[in-house]
Amino acid sequence: MSPVIEVKQLSKCYKKQPAVKSIDLTVKSGEIYGLIGPDGAGKSSVMQILAGVLSYESGEVKVFDHILDSEMSAEAVKSRIGFMPQGLGLNLYPELSIEENINFFADLRDVPVAEREARKLQLMDMTQLTAFRDRPMKNLSGGMKQKLGLVCTLIHKPELVILDEPTTGVDPVSRRDFWEILSYLVRHEHMTALVSTSYMDEAERFQNLSFFYEGSVLAQGEPDSILDSVEGWVAECDCEEGLNIIGELQSKFSQAELIGKTMRIVAYDVTQEWFEGELLGLLQQHGVSKTVEIRPIELEDAFIGMLHRWEKQKAGDGEFDFGQQDNAVNHFDESPEFDRNAVMIEANELSRHFGDFVAVDEVSFNVRAGEVFGLLGANGAGKSTAIKMLTGLLKPTHGFGQISQSSLERSGREIKQKIGYMSQSFSLYEDLTVHENLKLYGQIYGVPKSRLKQRIHWALQMGSLQDEIDTLAGSLPMGLRQRLALGCALLHEPKVLFLDEPTSGVDPLGRLQFWEILVALAKLKGVAILITTHYMSEAEHCDQLALMQAGKVVANGSPISLREHIADELGMVLSIKVDYPYQALDVLRKNGFEQVSLFGRRIHLFSLVPDRILNQIKKVLSSHEIEIHDTRKMLPSLEDVFIHFIETHAEELPDASPSRVAS
């Protein structure tokens, strides 16, 4: 059988600027293929070319054995393709209702009315949109917009769907619903799917994938085969002294970071014996005698390793070396006035009503100096409203709050001088240079002229922006742009920092460097940091988490305590790699294992008695001649925590309910 997609030596430029650089790509029928990479990596350009809506300079592109080399040739296959562009609801019409949007797209695709009605009912039921069919698209949450966009893309039963970052900016519940729906349609309608994402934790859900970076493909293949191609080890150790030795660890090993009170160290291209010996020796020199857990690297580590190699090759430094990294800790002197018990952010039964609608309902939490606090929740849970009250942008309807002992009610101007704020769409002036942006924001924040030059120099050093001082902000890569935005927010040395999804679209290496800065800010300078994020891997960095649902805090605690709570309640996660994943999923569900999920070629499920359940699964799959290649037992992830608490409290949020995809 011919591949559905076959690309050879494809190149695309925008005004002589290369966006796609001579890539090859093959997608087989009936698979979910992933394009992984940060914003600007070239994923969207490739998808638009494959969808027949963008021309290209050189190479060969085949879809369903048709060469796409003209507008006429693209028209020959468009009826067999469903394309969903990047952006929440950008292919939808805000004033039209859910049902009107679906009908409109069905008419565009010439779907007969009788067929349209049956298909519409099926898809709305799968996506839990039936009860909201008359609601205007503009009034939908982010997750519901993406589900509606998916329904409109699927209404004509395409053989190939091309979905450009369908889960970006969407909460984990909606993300998992999306994956359940997509895997069901691929299994039962024999559809092929090409999906792009910047979330590295979604990479394992693909049967095959390509890592994109700066228009090139760094690696291709099955997730496990890519992981096996990068030799490396990761070690974790709980250590209160982490900040004292993190710099030495970073100079010795490939990467080292602090995640809460846990040190995480990675080494590439070494044996486990060498890594363990060198690490334990260094820790003993510093009097650290904690237990160290060593295991193979994960997929995101493999991608970071590839990025390091790529950057070294670009710089022409010859044989790549991970050492000699610029350690963020070096740019921060520990504050002598740092009181770790000081409450810097206090929310005490904060509530906010908009007419009869309660957006935030008696929310309470504290953030201490030097603490990184994560505020998580589904779209519409009330996170942004809570932050707006704490930053003085909204007055609470009820309750009390204060920032560094300044009351929200009485000290609005004083509070604004004490806080730094950085949003996902932070308003850098793109036509100003890096230096001009820093100077402007220093003046806005009222930094004295006598100190502004010194603070700008610090921000440039902190963000490794010294070589970009005269570069226009709009020309910076996303990772550097976010570090510039952070530098602007910190010029006036605030004691409290609010970050609203600050690393959306940033590549894993950029996120790693960004978090090094945040950890140093908190632990050395005593800055209290409140952050919202949809990256569950980032939530692991937080000292404490609060999970919001329907305006209320429904769970709080440290990341590890929340994961252990779910393990006690639901059990460990069994991860089983099989050779026929779709068949295995159907067989297991028909034999009573209803809660199994598909992750690429792996099956995941919870069990309080994993060994006994694994034996049962082996017997069931063996009777259907499905081979198990390997099994793993894992602690539930923070995504599992998030989804469990959201679904437990789903009756409090009328727009959401647990996934009910037919099996």
Q: pLDDT confidence of 177, banded at 50, 70, 90?
A: confident
- C-alpha span between 483 and 520 (Å, rounded): 14
pLDDT of residue 478: 73
Q: Is the pLDDT of residue 216 over 70?
A: yes
Taken in order 611, 612, 616, 619, is the CA torsion positive or negative?
Answer: positive
- C-alpha–C-alpha distance, residues 81 and 63, integer Å: 10
**Cβ contact 162:112 at 8 Å:** no
Averaged pLDDT for residues 301-309: 85
Q: Is the pLDDT of residue 191 over 50?
A: yes
Q: Is the pLDDT of residue 27 over 70?
A: yes
- 411-433 pLDDT tens trace: 667 777 889 988 766 578 889 99
Give the pLDDT confidence score for residue 331 in this predicted structure.
Answer: 57
With pLDDT > 70 as the criterion, what percentage of the chain qualifies? 92
Q: Residue 324: which pLDDT band, with cuts at 50, 70 and 90?
A: very low
Q: Quickly state the pLDDT bin for 198 (edges 50, 70, 90).
A: confident
121 has pLDDT over 80:
yes
pLDDT for 617 = 94
List Cα–Cα distances, 72 to 7, 52, 66, 75, 487, in angstroms: 19, 9, 11, 5, 50
Return the pLDDT at 576. 92
Question: Is residue 229 predicted with pLDDT exceeding 70?
Answer: yes
Q: What is the mean pLDDT of residues 40-62?
A: 93
- Does residue 659 register a pLDDT over 90? no
- Average the pLDDT over 619-644 and give the result: 90
To which residue do tokens 């309660």 refer?
358
Cβ atoms < 10 Å from Cβ of 184: 18
Q: Given pLDDT bands bounded at 50, 70 and 90, which one contains residue 655?
A: very low
Q: How would residue 289 be classed by pLDDT, with cut points 50, 70 and 90?
A: confident
What is the reported pLDDT for 241?
67
- pLDDT classification of 120: cutoffs 50, 70, 90: very high
- Reported as a single tens digit per residue, the pLDDT across 562-590 is 999 999 999 999 999 998 888 898 899 99
Domains of the chain: residue spans and CATH: 5-223 (3.40.50.300), 227-324 (3.30.70.240), 343-553 (3.40.50.300), 561-652 (3.30.70)
Helix (H, G, I), strand (E, B) or coil at 570: helix
Cα angle value 556/560/564 (rounded, 5°): 90
Taking only the tens place, the pLDDT of each residue in 540-562 is: 889 999 998 889 999 999 998 99
Contact 232, 267 (CB under 8 A): yes
Confirm if 542 and 374 have CB atoms less than 8 A apart. yes
Q: Determine the pLDDT at residue 412.
A: 67
Where residue 602 falls among pLDDT bands split at 50, 70, 90? confident
140: pLDDT strictly greater than 50: yes
First to last CA, the chain: 28
Residue 318 has pLDDT above 60, yes or no: no
CA Rg value for the chain: 25
pLDDT bucket at 123, cuts 50 / 70 / 90 = very high
Q: What is the mean pLDDT of residues 281-299?
A: 86
Q: Which residue has the higher pLDDT, 585 or 327?
A: 585
Confidence of residue 319 (pLDDT cuts 50, 70, 90): very low
The 10s digit of each residue's pLDDT in 55-103 is 999 999 999 999 999 988 999 999 999 999 887 677 899 999 999 999 9
Q: Is the pLDDT higher at 261 or at 22?
A: 22
Q: For 334, which DSSP code? A: P
How far apart, in Å, are the Cα atoms of 55 and each of 26, 73, 74, 164?
19, 12, 10, 17
Residue 320, pLDDT score? 43
pLDDT digits (tens, 9 = 90+) for 344-383: 999 999 999 999 889 999 999 999 999 999 998 877 788 8
Question: 547: which 2 tokens?
Answer: 């999970």
Q: CB 220: neighbour CB atoms within 10 A?
A: 16
pLDDT of residue 663: 29
CA distances from 25 to 7, 71, 191, 408 (A): 5, 21, 18, 55
How much of the chain exceeds pLDDT 90, in percent? 47
| pLDDT score at 335 | 58
Q: Provide the strand spans (E) within 470-601.
A: 496-500, 528-532, 544-549, 552-557, 572-578, 597-599
pLDDT tens per residue, range 399-408: 988 998 888 7
Joined together, the tokens standing for residue 404 give 């560094």
pLDDT beyond 60 at 322: no
Lowest-confidence region among 193-207, 299-313, 411-425: 411-425
Residue 513, CA distances (Å) to 63, 306, 311, 482, 483 in order: 39, 16, 14, 11, 9
pLDDT at residue number 639? 87
Separation in Å, CA 209 to CA 218, 412, 484, 514, 599: 11, 50, 32, 26, 13
Residue 501 has pLDDT above 50, yes or no: yes
